[in-house]
Amino acid sequence: MPQRTLIILKPDAVQRRLVGRILSRFEDKGLKIVAAKFIHISIELARKHYAVHKEKPFFDGVVRYLASSPSLVLVLEGDNVIDMTRKLMGKTFGIEAEPGTIRGDFGASQRFNLVHGSDSPDSAAYEINLYFEPDEIVDYRTSDNEWVFGCSY
């Protein structure tokens, strides 16, 4: 059965005009966009998003970073979408990420990392609910689903 994940094309991706190129990586893989918003994430929402890290020394910095400029927030759907998107993104920072990954191809910073993706089904459910109401997520079937995933749902 398909799985959903939250993806954020972060402020540095927007400011560097990489949104289309990054989004195409996910679509080229066959993943389906079921929700999307272009928003300026508030400090309050960024704090909720990174709440699991609130005791860590980098918390305030990542909150300011996420709230610094507009982001494109998405829900993607597909079989094993969480594992798949994390592989497509690459290691956390571009300086360490493998070529061929989003961060490996577009990132060089040790602070900014272009894109966020949920790391588990539980975090995906929590994060999706932070950004989207249930009626903002569109359930539909693509014509190539059977060819991409080898199934007919």
Which one from 40, 49, 53, 116 is the annotated catalytic residue? 116
**What pLDDT score was predicted for residue 149?**
82
Return the DSSP state at 115: E
116 is catalytic: yes
Query: Roughly what angle, to the nearest 10 degrees, separates helices 19-28 and 81-89?
Result: 140
The count of other CB atoms within 10 Å of the CB of residue 37 is: 15
| Residue 1 pLDDT | 73
* CATH numbers and ranges of domains, the chain: 3-146 (3.30.70.141)
pLDDT of residue 40: 98
Low-confidence ranges of the chain (pLDDT < 50): none
* pTM to 2 decimal places: 0.94
H/E stretch holding 5: strand 3-9
What pLDDT sits at residue 153?
Answer: 52
